[in-house]
Amino acid sequence: MKKRISEVFQDLFSQNPLIAFAPGRINLIGEHTDYQEGLVFPAAVKQGIYIAIGRNQEGHCRLYSLDFDEEYTFSLDSISPQKGHWVNYVMGMLSQLKQSGFAPQSFDMVIGGTIPVGAGLSSSAALSIAIGTAITSLFNYQVSKKSLVLYAQKSEHLYAGVNCGIMDPYASAFGKKSHALLLDCRNNSHEEIPIDLGHFQLVLVNSKVKHSLADSAYNKRRMACEESVEILKIEFPEIKTLRDIAISDLEKVEKILPEELFPKAKHVITENHRVFEAAESLRRRDLLTFGKLLNASHTSLSTDFEVSCAELDFLASQAQGMLQVLGSRMMGGGFGGCTLNLVDKEFLVEFKNQIQNSYQKAFGIIPDFIEVELSDGASVIHSDSTSF
């Protein structure tokens, strides 16, 4: 992709580009804890978004998307959201930079990616971080990684209309090869945890489904958590979010909360604890415990938080029944997407065959498989650009 995007840029704009890259991400464990200021455990992956960029003297920005095979031109003086269009990610990051006192000049840009569509690897966050890395590098702006992350998050809120959390852009910016980030969503700080899986491999199985329940269910779950916090403040006046409830207080919480709210609160409280336990187990290279935590996370997401679906439950159950698989869980917001599986490398071919055959028989869908490699975060990978 690096070679292709450079060649396309040179063909279109007759100059050598600067090339930036930002990776997608997986989340090892910790779903629906971020908006309760909890812990998450993401890692950057090798798939990501490439941006080729160079200055121009045209007075306007000229863009081309490889994936959409589409050109777009706009003036820096007329930046405003374009409903449902990929250009929003460029305009959104430019808007954030301008609000922070920078004054980008006109440029040419080509965008291309290697993230599989619908795999839940957060291509939108990777796109925003790649764009931000490219523009700030081209104009030599001194912008910290954390500022870039916050720009990307706000850009998605205002220009793409997505109320995303901090995890996705954070992992894309701060990722480190062979490490995961134990990220605290209260203070936006992280600890790098080395990941040594020995003869095991992380494998995503893409269910290739996305149910329409996702958005409305997300909002309902979020509201349930916020309502639970308000009720629990009577007994726990010091808490700000469910993150502040100790797992040892779970029985007390069950007695306080209405029956319809408790399971949702239970998931957030126990999942937050599982993230901490997962990081500790990987520090010890205790993969058996880590695998059990993956399984427990899936059960909690499916039974308590109710954000799974028949396809994800089937894939997780099939994998959990295999001796050579230490753990399996749904990854992401729910109602479709991928399962994350910890599989013995020697069993990979058989794992794929068994899962594909059983899933196709049950649902008539052939799943995709993505072997995960934990990689570094965003960077400039070629900087021989022409400047005017």
CA angle, 313 then 373 then 187, to 5° = 80
Alpha carbon separation from 329 to 230, 239, 312, 326 (Å, rounded): 30, 29, 8, 11
Please name the residue that has the structure tokens 């990978």.
381
Q: Does the pLDDT at position 386 exceed 60?
A: no
Which has the closest alpha carbon to 28: 312, 374, 378, 344? 374
pTM of the model: 0.92
Two tokens, residue 368 = 């995709």
Fold (topology level) of 2-194+375-382 = Ribosomal Protein S5; domain 2 (3.30.230)
Give span(s): CATH 3.30.70.890, the chain: 200-371
Could you tell me the pLDDT band of residue 214, with boundaries at 50, 70 and 90?
low
Question: Distance between CA atoms of 14 and 106, rounded to whole angstroms?
Answer: 16
Question: Distance between CA atoms of 308 and 299, rounded to whole angstroms?
Answer: 9
Q: Which residues are catalytic?
A: 168
Which has the closest alpha carbon to 282: 36, 43, 33, 121? 43
Q: Which residues pair with 329 in a beta bridge?
A: 340
Which has the closest alpha carbon to 377: 53, 88, 125, 87? 125
CB 197 within 8 A of CB 223: no
Two tokens, residue 89 = 């990610």
SS3 for 142?
Answer: coil
CB 31 within 8 A of CB 136: no
The mean pLDDT of 328-335, rounded to a whole number, is 93
Q: Does the pLDDT at position 350 exceed 80?
A: yes
| pLDDT tens digits for range 52-69 | 999 999 989 999 999 999
Q: Does the pLDDT at position 161 exceed 90?
A: no
Which has the closest alpha carbon to 331: 174, 162, 239, 204? 204
Instruction: Report the 10 Å Cβ neighbour count for 97.
Output: 23
Q: Does the pLDDT at position 74 exceed 70?
A: yes
| pLDDT tens digits for range 100-150 | 999 999 999 999 999 887 677 878 899 999 999 999 999 999 999 999 999
Q: Does the pLDDT at position 388 exceed 70?
A: no
HEC string of 208-262 equals: EEECCCHHHHHHHHHHHHHHHHHHHCCCCCCCCCHHHCCHHHHHHHHHHCCCCCH
Burial class of residue 11 in the structure, from the number of CB atoms within 10 Å of its CB (0-12 exposed, 13-18 middle, 19+ buried) = exposed
Give span(s): CATH 3.30.230.10, the chain: 2-194+375-382
Tell me, what's the pLDDT at 385? 52
Tell me, what's the pLDDT at 384? 64
Question: Distance between CA atoms of 343 and 353, rounded to whole angstroms?
Answer: 13
Instruction: Round the average pLDDT of the chain to a whole number and report it.
Output: 94
Instruction: Report the 10 Å Cβ neighbour count for 3.
Output: 9
| pLDDT tens digits for range 273-320 | 999 999 999 999 999 999 999 999 999 999 999 999 999 999 999 999
Fold (topology level) of 200-371 = Alpha-Beta Plaits (3.30.70)
- Residue 123 identity: S
- Give the chain's end-to-end CA distance (angstroms, integer): 26
Q: Does the pLDDT at position 217 exceed 90?
A: no
Tell me, what's the pLDDT at 250? 97
